[in-house]
Structure 1
Amino acid sequence: MAASDHTILEQAADWLRQGRKVALATVVETWGSAPQPIGSQLVIDDDGNFIGSVSGGCVEGAVVTEALDIIASGKPRLLQFGVADETAWKVGLACGGRIGVYVEPIQ
């Protein structure tokens, strides 16, 4: 689901007020052709609900899966996706670029 930065952060705040655990994923690096610019965000709750985009739909599923682990562990992680990775085609980042996505639990 596409959303503005303002809407994404509002949703994160709403989920936190409801007592949900939340992670924020942010594009922090891009190389070559990247579907979303640096600063693009995706917010994920502990039920796997999400809003925003870090890749235009290419890797959101993988980011959500990792975010659930990050929410559970409380430890942030830098994820990297690119066409050179053996999993790139599996997660759909076939645009020829690479992205770095920093995922952190928020409170």
Structure 2
Amino acid sequence: MTGTFFDLDPLMTAETWRKGGRDVAIATVIETWGSAPRPAGSHLVIDRDGNFEGSVSGGCVEGAVITEALDVIADGKAKMLEFGVADETAWRVGLSCGGRIRVYVERLD
């Protein structure tokens, strides 16, 4: 094994990508209720080209978060996203586990 724990840390990835000149957003799980695949504090890092590392939920929720992150990178306006079984978008994005998550997405400058 040649890598270290830090090679897999999305925050370290974000720092490396920023130092390399990439435009980057970070998504952070702020709150969870009920059954949620990732705990609060989990991160997903996204660059302008749609490359990503980490996880905030898994499945289609991450696709929706990545799409929103690209908008955040473009306009610089942070967003609070919520996905949950009570939300009609929950089934569309694949969060049918009975839980809810709130994800904060911000551009890193």
User: TM-score, normalised to structure 1's length?
Assistant: 0.91
Q: Structure 1 residue 41 and structure 2 residue 43: aligned?
A: yes
Unaligned stretches of 5+ residues in structure 1: none
**Matches for 1:59-78 after TM superposition, within 5 Å:** 59-78=61-80
One-letter amino acid of the counterpart of residue 46, structure 1:
R
CA distance in 2, matches of 1:86, 1:97: 13
Q: Whole-Å Cα distance in 1 between the matches of residues 79 and 65 of structure 2?
A: 11
- In terms of mean alpha carbon deviation, does 93-102 or 15-24 score higher? 15-24
Report the 3-state secondary structure (helix = DSSP H, G, I; strand = E; otherwise coil) of the residue aligned with 1:44: strand
Task: Report the structure, 1 or 2, having the larger helix content.
Answer: 2
Give the deviation of 1:4 after TM superposition.
Answer: 6.8
CA distance in 2, matches of 1:4, 1:27: 20
RMSD: 1.7
TM norm structure 2: 0.89
- Residues 24, 47 of structure 2: 8 Å contact kept: yes
Say which SS state the counterpart of residue 46 (structure 2) adopts: strand
Distance 1:99 1:5 in 2: 26
Q: How many residues align?
A: 105
- Structure with larger Rg: 2
SS of match in other structure, 1:59: helix
Percent identical residues: 69
CA distance in structure 2 between the aligned counterparts of 1:61 and 1:25, rounded to whole angstroms: 12
**How far has the Cα of 1:11 moved from its partner?**
1.1
